[in-house]
Amino acid sequence: MSSTAPRVTRPRVAPHRNERLLRRRHALVVVLTFLTGSADALGFLALGGAFASVMTGNMVLLGLSAGRGEADLALTSGCAIVSFIVGVLAGARVVGSAQPDDPVWPRRVTWALVLELAVFVVFAVVWEVTLHNPEARVHLALLMLSAVALGVQSSAIQRFGVSGLSSTYLTGTLTSLIAGVAARSPWASLRPKAQVLLALMVGAAVGALVALHLPVVAPALLIVPLVLVIAVSARLRA
How high is the pLDDT of residue 14? 54
Q: Is residue 10 scored above 70 in pLDDT?
A: no
Q: Are 82 and 145 in contact (CB under 8 A)?
A: no
pLDDT band at 15 (very low <50, low <70, confident <90, very high): low
pLDDT band at 135 (very low <50, low <70, confident <90, very high): confident
What's the pTM?
A: 0.89
User: What CA–CA distance (Å, rounded) separates 52 from 156?
Assistant: 16
CATH match of 26-94+104-230 with 3.40.190: no
How high is the pLDDT of residue 112? 97
